Structure 1
């Protein structure tokens, strides 16, 4: 029997998101400086469910974003990159 080790780019903090999400009124643990205002956008690999790519750079991607304003995290959204 051949067993394959889990791909390091598909486990832990790298585990792919399986759904597109829009979340509002986010809870902040601690505090955010009120002058910290803007959006943080991250584009990363994120294979779709059921697909196991053979390399980090193969497969689908996802864009994640969070909006910060006046000490609040207003929203989080993630969307698949259309390829």
Structure 2
């Protein structure tokens, strides 16, 4: 036997819908803003990671160049000392 009980809801369906619909839209907008912010932070993190890696490569190259220059100066000074000693 089917139950023929009728339930009344407070507030009405229209009131519930008029309250929940703006909340749903606001939630979707807020979610989109959060995703946008997270995407921006991810892009910044990736850019900084690349910059850090490039800076490390540049430090390595400049260190090698500095060491070669320093070694060339030392070699020239040794050549001058040896040439001066041979001249005596």
- What TM-score does the superposition give when structure 1 sets the normalisation length? 0.18
More helix by share: 2
More strand by share: 1
Larger radius of gyration: 2
- What TM-score does the superposition give when structure 2 sets the normalisation length? 0.17
